[in-house]
Structure 1
Amino acid sequence: MTTDDPRTRFPETALALVDDDPTTVIVYAEIAGQWFGRDAITRPDRVVNVGIREQLLVDVAAGMALAGAFPIAHTFAPFLVERAYEQIKLGFGHQDVDGLLVSTGGSVDMASMGRTHQTVADVALVAAVPGFSVHVPGTADEVDQLMRLAHRERGRHYIRVTAQQNSRSFDVSTPALHVARPGSGALVIVAVGPVLDATLAAAERISTATDLDPTVLYTATVRPFDGAGLRRLSGPVPDVVLVEPYLAGTSSHEVADALRDRPHRLLGLGFRREEPRRYGTPEDHIAAAGLDARGIERSVTDFASAQRTAAASRSA
């Protein structure tokens, strides 16, 4: 029975892939034992628990890839990416082997557990390793789609699974941008993964309160980024707002490169670099970062107003 929680859909799909393909293995670091523990006992050659040793986790997965297996490596995002970054860079990138890294607990999913369990830099870090595709699914169905896509196509993939999710799924079998809300194309908001619902709510508020008509585009894949789609769906001189559920500006250079020959303004929204010193619920942290509907509405409105003020000053 499938679930609607992205965090539990991941192990369901992972075990299904192991069942379907004798070359697929799961490597995990204690975390997720409630899903994989029985299989680690009954088929230890296919489901491997390395204990709380994340660097070993990645090295074992890369070694299995060198031996011809397709590994699915999993633990919490700060441990999988930040703690084991050198192993990702060398074991997978330098050795040029295939595999799927799947994290949970990204950004502020585990905010109350403190700084050790938070990361907003994981996407930027993995994207810096050559050859990685990076996916940020917004629903459980998109998690399943992207895992099966990575397994089918092989290559190197990072899938970021979080508790926050959208109310609607898209066909994410390609990295194409989807039109979630049609608009004029003069103001384009690109929502990545689980921030879509908040972005759509913000866009409706903006449309009601102003004469702006935002176009909202959605993607669950940021590497590769659909630059051609952005060009096609934007106006000749667009304002672009990029809303990412991790470090602000992580994909800003992708947008800038796509529009490099077209006059445009760009605003990157996301979590800031400053470390939060007060801990609350994930929703508290999302609101503090301005990634709830009101925060996005405020940032986008201020961004658009600044352009109008500057234009009025130039014409005065």
Structure 2
Amino acid sequence: MDTMRERFVSTTSQLLDEDARLALVLAEISKDGFSAARRRHPDRVINVGIREQLLIGAGGGIALTGLRPIMHTFASFLVERPFEQVKLDFGHQGTGGVLVSAGASYDWPAGGFTHMAPGDVALLDTLDGWSVQVPGHPDEAEALLRQSAARDDRVYIRLSLQTNARAHASDGKPGFRTLREGRGGVVIAVGPMLDHVLAATEGLDVTVLYATTVRPFDSAALRAAAGVQNAADVVIVEPYLAGTSTAAASEALTDVPHRVLGLGVSRRELRRYGRMDEHLTAHGLDPRGLRARMARFLPGTPR
């Protein structure tokens, strides 16, 4: 199976052939994969080099001409480093574009903390009007990319080397999917966290919702899942900063007695960079770690 990033390259190359409104802006990352596309469309495939502020600024300028820019690099260099340009060149200017990241929270530990971005979604939450999509499989990434390329708004697509064994939302439709139903609580699994959540909740009387689009937050789906209970216990498992979506969940359940537990990447920096799976375990996001923390939170859950 190809990776999400490989699928991004092949799908975007095809989209550039099909839609003259699209433009791609790179900052060195993935440039080799787009060599053929750049030869075919030298005016719409631009590599600005290792200049991430320019990456976003160029994308914003392209958007002002009426084109639809797709901007790509590692998440830490796409959202964190050029955040002022994201805020001004798209939000303030009222333009649209698609940010597509690689690297996720700790996909390349050998790159060190500079290449980790667990806070990217939380940072975008400070801005208005951004749709945030977190696919859990290459098929889902392709569907979300195709839909986002055809839109006019501001979209962030967060790709990762972590992936679920199969796609559960390859139609790209927004909204949470109900994969299991139960009465002992609601667990929301975001993107590549799904397989770990399914393993961790095996045998538990809980509802499992699957999310690939997290902004806008699907309040209606959460309310519907919590509606079978007099009070709601909600666990959100996200592949980025723990607690990023707890406020959104609490707002959705304002008039319902509820508790929310946000599980994800901790704020603590792991300085022994190791491997991706070791980071997953260290943050308690493997099935065993998730089960242990759910057992402490959800009433009646066996350890």
TM-score, normalising length: structure 2: 0.95
CA contact (8 A) 2:132 2:216 kept: yes
Q: How many Å apart are 1:4 and its aligned residue?
A: 3.3
- What's the counterpart of residue 244 of structure 2? 250
Give the Å deviation of 1:203: 0.3
Give the distance between the partners of 2:175 and 2:123, measured in 1 at CA. 22
Aligned-pair CA distance for 1:36: 1.2
**What is the identity, as a one-letter code, of the residue corresponding to 1:174?**
K
Separation (CA, whole Å) in 2 of partners of 1:177 and 1:41: 40
After TM superposition, list the pairs within 5 Å mapping 1:1-316 onto structure 2: 4-171=2-169, 173-184=172-183, 186-204=184-202, 207=203, 212-234=204-226, 235-305=229-299
CA distance in 1, matches of 2:46, 2:185: 48
Give CA-to-partner distance per residue, 1:1-30, whole Å, 9 cap, x none.
xx5321100111111111111110100001
Residue 302 of structure 1 deviates from its aligned partner by: 1.0
Structure-2 change in CA distance of 1:306 and 1:116 (3 Å)? farther
Letter in 2 for 1:18: L
- What is the deviation of 1:157? 0.1
Structure 1 residues 176-206: Cα deviation after superposition (integer angstroms, max 9, x where no partner): 111122222x3110000000000000000xx
What's the secondary structure of 1:153's corresponding residue? coil
Larger Rg: 1
**For residues 260 and 125 of structure 2, what CA distance do their matches in structure 1 show?**
20
Aligned length: 299
Once residues 299 and 218 of structure 2 are traced to their aligned partners in structure 1, the CA distance between those partners, rounded to angstroms, is 28
- For the residues of structure 1 that align with 2:224 and 2:124, how far apart are their CA atoms? 28
TM-superposed CA distance for 1:41, in Å, is 4.0
Name the CA shift for 1:105/1:152 in 2 (closer, same or farther; >3 Å): same
| Offset at residue 128 of structure 1 (A) | 1.9
The amino acid across from 1:228 in the alignment is A
Report which stretch shifted further, 163-172 or 236-245.
163-172
8 Å CA contact 1:40–1:49 kept in 2: the answer is no
Q: Which runs of 5+ in 2 are unaligned?
A: none
Q: How far is the alpha carbon of 1:98 from its aligned partner? A: 0.9
Aligned residue type for 1:215:
T
TM-score by length of 1: 0.91
How far 1:275 moved relative to its partner?
1.4
> Structure 1 CA distance, aligned partners of 2:142 and 2:34?
17
Contact 2:294 2:301 in 1 (8 A): no
Identity %: 48
